[in-house]
């Protein structure tokens, strides 16, 4: 009789087959938040304060306007489905806005653009502010009626708020620029940052041409060199600001810290 050596791996395999089968279930995925049916009433149970209630004085709270947040999902129109936040308010945050939020700037801004991505704001992502991920809430606050749209008198102060453009002028003398802040325009208004700059869009000549309309008479009064440059710019679609920089302040990169 021939004795064959025992294969230890085969023996181990038979032993494993005799063991009961243990199935390890994958951990259940956390439940996705849903919209709470009580809407703003549930939110105001905790957030009924002056910093929040200011929105009631704005168009965002107009329930008769089908495009307003109030007529759709109320607070959750902007802050997202909040069932998990209501259930665990200290552990689960909904979509919050501002520099202190952990939500990415593009996500925060997209909530605003869901309703406001039209007109000059259609080119937001191509603008200097959009490219630098500047938050809409840096300039606008829908819970503060006087800050939804910066007032004409405070636009320059809003731009020079100590965090973004405060160093643009440095030690330069405003009167040394042809487009100095506060200069009176032909229509009786005064020049400020937004007179020339579109904070929501890319560089464009539209605002320049509102004051410097290129009529045949205006072009004819220019030097031959200027006429040649302007013809070339028009043919190539070059924006005015590409050549006419530094008219109102020293050229400085945007600082969005």
What DSSP line would sit under 141-182, residue for residue? -TTSGGGSS--GGGHHHHHTSSSSSTTSSTT--GGGSTT-TT
Q: What is the DSSP letter of 54?
A: G
Write down the pTM of the prediction: 0.69
- In this prediction, residue 180 has a pLDDT band, given cuts at 50, 70 and 90, of confident
Give the mean pLDDT of 142-169.
73
Confidence class for position 59, pLDDT limits 50, 70, 90: very high
Burial 66-91 (b: 16+ CB within 10 A, else e): eebbbeebbbbbbbbebbbbbeeeee
- Contact between residue 189 and residue 210 where contact means Cβ atoms under 8 Å apart: no
pLDDT exceeds 80 at position 160: no
pLDDT classification of 9: cutoffs 50, 70, 90: very low
The pair of three-digit structure tokens given for residue 227, joined into one six-digit string: 């006429």
């Amino acid at each position: 009789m021939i004795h064959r050596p025992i294969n230890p791996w085969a023996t181990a395999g038979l032993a494993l087959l005799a063991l009961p089968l243990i199935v390890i279930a994958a951990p259940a995925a956390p439940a996705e938040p849903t919209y709470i049916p009580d809407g703003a009433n549930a939110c105001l149970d905790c957030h009924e304060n002056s910093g929040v209630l200011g929105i009631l004085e704005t168009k965002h709270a107009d329930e008769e306007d089908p495009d307003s947040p109030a007529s759709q999902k109320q607070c959750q129109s902007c802050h997202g489905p909040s069932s998990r936040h209501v259930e665990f308010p200290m552990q689960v945050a909904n979509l919050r806005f501002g520099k202190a939020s952990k939500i990415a700037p593009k996500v925060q801004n997209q909530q605003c653009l869901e309703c406001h991505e039209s007109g000059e704001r259609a080119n937001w992502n191509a603008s200097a502010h959009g490219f630098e991920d500047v938050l809409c809430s840096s300039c606008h606050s829908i819970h503060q009626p006087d800050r939804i749209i910066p007032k004409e008198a405070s636009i320059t102060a809003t731009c020079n708020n100590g965090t973004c453009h405060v160093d643009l002028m440095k030690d330069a003398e405003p009167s040394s620029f042809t487009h100095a802040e506060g200069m009176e325009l032909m229509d009786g208004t005064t020049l400020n940052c937004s007179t020339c700059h579109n904070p929501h869009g890319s560089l464009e000549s539209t605002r320049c041409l509102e004051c410097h309309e290129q009529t045949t008479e205006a072009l004819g009064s220019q030097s031959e060199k200027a006429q040649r440059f302007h013809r070339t710019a028009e043919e190539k679609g070059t924006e005015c600001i590409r050549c006419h920089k530094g008219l109102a302040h020293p050229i400085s990169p945007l600082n969005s810290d």
